[in-house]
């Protein structure tokens, strides 16, 4: 069984939230979607809510799933959901920086390798709205 990493694509006013990793050194500086590993005994949606609270200080509503299992390093998969803000404004508690990316900026940050295809799928999904 792979370890599951959950990630939220928070969409607000047509922009998506990107977060710049602070660690580990191999990933620091790269951009990702907020999230993290599901704890033992924890549900995936529960983990997503917890990570957004811990990392951004916000409450989110979880929307539709983006794709299936996105490959990370061996033994890890990432599952991704669209989300909207319910309470609060995101603050970078654990990231180096946050950026809201409009449609013309989706590919303007240095996404982690695993995240580039996710951003492409998100662009397709949001472009259909």
Dist CA 83 CA 78 (whole Å): 16
| Beta carbon of residue 69, minimum distance to ligand 8DG (angstroms, whole number) | 13
Give me the 13-42 binding string for ligand 8DG, x by CB under 6 A, dash otherwise.
--------------x----xx-xxx-----
Q: Which residue is nearest to ligand 8DG (CB)?
A: 36
54 to 113, contacts with ligand 8DG by CB under 6 A? 72, 78, 112
Identity of the residue, 72 or 92, whose beta carbon is nearer to ligand 8DG in the bound complex: 72
Dist CA 112 CA 95 (whole Å): 14
Torsion, CA 55, CA 14, CA 61, CA 22, rounded to 10: -10
Cis peptide before 24 (omega within 30 of 0): yes
Number of continuous H segments (helices) and E segments (strands) in the chain: 2, 7
Q: Six-digit token pair at 2?
A: 């792979």
| Beta carbon of residue 25, minimum distance to ligand 8DG (angstroms, whole number) | 12
Task: Give the residues lining the site for ligand 8DG (CB under 6 A).
Answer: 5, 7, 27, 32-33, 35-37, 72, 78, 112, 114-115
């Amino acid at each position: 069984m792979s370890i599951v990493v959950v990630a939220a694509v928070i969409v607000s006013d047509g922009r998506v939230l990107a977060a710049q990793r602070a660690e580990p050194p191999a990933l620091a500086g790269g951009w990702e979607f907020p999230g993290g590993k599901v704890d033992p005994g924890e549900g995936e949606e529960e983990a997503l809510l917890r990570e957004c609270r811990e990392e951004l200080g916000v409450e989110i509503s979880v929307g539709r799933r983006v794709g299936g299992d996105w490959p990370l390093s061996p033994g890890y998969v990432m599952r991704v959901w669209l989300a909207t803000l319910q309470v609060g404004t995101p603050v970078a508690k654990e990231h180096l920086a946050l950026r809201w990316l409009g449609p013309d900026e989706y590919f303007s940050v240095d996404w982690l390798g695993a995240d580039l295809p996710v951003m492409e799928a998100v662009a397709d999904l949001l472009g259909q709205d």
